[in-house]
Amino acid sequence: MKNTGMTYYIGEFCRDFGYPEEAVQVLEHAGRVFWDDAQTREILEQGQEELLSGHGQNTQAVLESLSQAARLRGIHPYTAHLVFFIGLFRPLREVYRQRGISMDIYRDSMLDLKWKLLECRQVYGVWGSFVAWWFPGFFDMTRFALGRLQYEKMAFGQEYQGPGRILHSDSPVVNMHVPSSGPLTMAECMDSFKKAYAFYRKDFPEGPIPFTCCSWLLFPEHERMLPRTSHIRQFQSLFEILEWGYDPEGGDLWRIFGCVWDGDIGKLPKDTSLRQVYAARLAAGEKPGWGRGLFFFDGERLLKGEG
């Protein structure tokens, strides 16, 4: 399946999803450069065809080849990676239609490319994506955005026993991700949980659906760091925290500060209360952390292990 849409429809996709005009021009230019070169065109076509046919395990090798080709042509690899995935939007949209999946779900899912674009611009000053390894789940139809949050079915990976609830390592659960698309309000979260319940209900015919999440947002020490009114604390309170720990490397601090953490506290922006709290924590020699949580949802009520 040849996909010539990449060159001609980058602008259409970007403007439809509200990309900044400067980003549109950069991405369109990269698309033209790639498509006019036989070598990069072949890399793009082959990689896109493999991903849409369910062979996305080769995508990382494709991205590495594309990075090398991009550098030779004066294109930033992060820009090249985003162009690769944008070029898939029309055939992916057709797959959604063939499977009878709502175009609202398609749009919500494709918005993730925009959130990653804006992150890349903020952190590295580049219109592109520095986490392109993350995208294949949306294109091989294993991950979906359902309202504010994103989901994928997976094996639980550990043993769990609560009042009336038992999960084994191979038990299916719905794993949750939180994109950087704005405030994390409880109303939007509950709306998303209901959409996810309706979407995955056929895979869980008996009892409530188990939802899990592993994130810096679930770090238990937020209870003493942040006020009760904090959206982060409210989100965390939805879960039974199963495990947590510290992150000595601060791998998620870029999500808070919008810049790479290099150990220099003086470089960190402190223009929000969250950034001020985390900067003070780092200055005191304390580490950031993470948590993994679980709850069950019956379509209306959120349950934390109770019968």
Q: Predicted confidence band at 4 (pLDDT cuts at 50, 70, 90)?
A: very low
Name the amino acid, one letter, at 208.
Answer: P
Name the DSSP class of 304: S
60, pLDDT greater than 70: yes
C-alpha dihedral over 81, 98, 204, 108, to 10 degrees?
Answer: 40
Q: Predicted confidence band at 47 (pLDDT cuts at 50, 70, 90)?
A: confident
Average pLDDT over residues 52-67: 79
Q: What is the pLDDT of residues 86-101, one digit of tens each?
A: 988 888 999 999 999 9
Give the angle 297-298-301 at the CA atoms, nearest 5°: 75
d(C-alpha 261, C-alpha 135), whole Å: 24
Q: Mention the CATH class of domain 144-247+288-303.
A: alpha beta
Q: pTM for this one? A: 0.92
Q: Where in the chain is the domain with CATH 3.40.630.120?
A: 144-247+288-303
Q: Predicted confidence band at 7 (pLDDT cuts at 50, 70, 90)?
A: low
Give the angle 98-18-187 at the CA atoms, nearest 5°: 80
- What would you report as the CA-atom Rg of the chain, rounded to the nearest whole angstrom? 21
Name the DSSP class of 248: T
- In the chain, count of helices (H) and strands (E)? 13, 9
Beta bridge partners of 173: 154
Element (H, E) at 131: none
Average pLDDT over residues 223-231: 96
Bridging pattern class, strands 172-177 and 209-215: parallel
Beta bridge partners of 160: 167
Q: What is the pLDDT of residues 238-265, one digit of tens each?
A: 999 999 999 999 999 999 999 999 999 9
